[in-house]
Structure 1
Amino acid sequence: MIRLKATAKAATAQRTDPPGGAALEVRDLTVEIMTHSGPVVAVDGVSFDARSGQTIALLGESGCGKSMTAQAVVGLLDPVASVTGGQIRLGGADTRTMSRAERRKLAGPELSIVFQDALTALNPVYTVGTQLAEPFRIHRRMSAKEARGKAIELMRRVGIPEPETRVDAHPHQFSGGMRQRLLIAMAVALSPRVLLVDEPTTALDVTVQAQIMELLRGLRAEHSMAVVLITHDLALVSEQADQVAVMYAGSIVEQGPVAEVFSAPRHPYTRGLLDSVPVHAERGTTLSSIPGTPPDLHSIPSGCVFQARCPMVRDLCRTTRPALAATGEGRAAACHFSEELSNG
């Protein structure tokens, strides 16, 4: 298991959120994608907060808008996609009103992201030492020698063995788990205020997954980071996150503290996801699943986005889209019959 040693400097540099706010505040975020048949809304009015020292998970099936939301927050949308509405406030400042140069200065010291595919995210041409040293040379104006020393220190902190000799290796010379550690090292090099983590354990075996998540937990505590975890893994959310926002067809359909949402879901989609986990499954028994598939983004229904797959669907669901409304302290759900579900 990985054990991180917090330095005295890190221990005294705990961040605090802006008065009355969070490290990251996303409000009514809307993202459109241009297609041959016209624009489609991939992220529709998404709002959430990420607080220092805590993890919020964006949870849902593939294609629900989780990664698109993360890319919009860090300003890395594909050229065919664009943010068409909402606010993204980092440390109280709205990044959408900033110039490109101002946003670029935030990348690393304030906001960073760990991508899903480490081999694709790392540049195969340059050594890992060169890539790890780059943030220190650009943002801290360090010499090549000083930046190389920082790169070795980062490699050691994330559990890369013999960093002094492997600092000159290329990405393909590392295993999948080691590459993921290197990607995390690059992301946290400048102790960002907010760290977005997109499916960090995909294609890794169970033991390596546990090590990677322990590493992230330690780094979050050391730097008092706000972490946004993008995943479809309910077990990962249960173990790692404080808050959860369940996404479906580009919208948040339920959010709140993980323990409360998972123990008493207020939306049929959340319940369907939880019921599909084979906790007590036995050989020969039928596994539970959510019937059907998510709606085509070109033809989102006018009522509830989940109506075609919902076991509780009524006429009201087909005509009126439910707003994300409070269902208790710190909780919200977008369902006309959330109270009925909670009593069921």
Structure 2
Amino acid sequence: MREPLIFDGHNDVLLRLHQQDISPGKDGFQGSGGKQIDLDKARTGGFAGGFFAIYIPGEAALSDSHDEMMAKNYDLPLPPQVEWGDAIKVALSQASILFNLEREGALNVCRCTQDIKNAMAEGKMAAVMHMEGAEAIDPDFHTLEVLYQAGLRSLGPVWSRPTIFGHGVPFRFPSTPDTGEGLTSDGIRLINKCNDLGIMVDLSHLNEAGFWDVAKHSTKPLVATHSNAHPLSMHSRNLTDRQLHAIRESEGMVGLNFAVAFLRSDGRMDEDTPITTMLDHLDYLIAQLGEERVGLGSDFDGAAVPNEIKTIAGLPNLRTAMADRGYDAALIRKLCHENWLRVLDLTWM
């Protein structure tokens, strides 16, 4: 099943290209040389595009954390906060990679839902510029204004380490998302500014206190682009029933994270995870949120995903699993892309 097309809530291909210092050309994106995302795999998998994250990794990354996350419990140390002067250089580098891909005809940078629909109709990959962690945003919001004009339409105030705007959740299992303080006063100002501009606020890495701060101050739907259900996997990154109900009441949505550590009940970074585990989370999210408020948020090029999928070329296996679970064609369309278009219409208007 290569249809319906999938519009996805999160990927890290810009970080991969930036870190490997690879040209966006055939070795890195426009052939079959990518890790989990490239154009050839997209055609095979029916991948229409999604949120392309700008992420600042800092001096110490979590890329070597696989062994620790195979333990029965873990609490990984986070990299330190990145100063603005360093962060803005990396952010602009990744934004430049995105615009070079557009210039070379590999994708379209989309600034409204009609842009996404047009790209999908034309067979072009649709890319929404997203920022995961706002270290590159100054407290006067000059950078935010410029990046918005360039195409930024989605932003997470934090990744997991703290910033001047708030506090994220650590990579901790087992744990609730209630891990500390929430937004700062600058963070509340950032939420208000994003609302004014029409930038979607992403809750996926905020801790629970920060989540409720956004719920209190934001006038837009609550959205977690790549998160899962805490009752099924007791990881700090996942959402409690109370959080899910707040998202439902705001007409927001959640994108299912494919990262195995956030899917499994044991929290292990084990790619030998059956695709049915993903369906269990989808079932739960649909039961809590309704059919119109659930989508996909893979974390491709930034996470270990189930072996039955591996890359975007494996997405037909997910569609088949949905059908085998009894999801009808209308529900599969909603999960694959219609629900993202619905919530973006509400957020960007």
In the superposition, the TM-score normalised over structure 1's length comes to 0.34
TM-score by length of 2: 0.34
Higher strand share: 1
Question: Where is the helix percentage greater, Structure 1 or Structure 2?
Answer: 2
Larger radius of gyration: 1
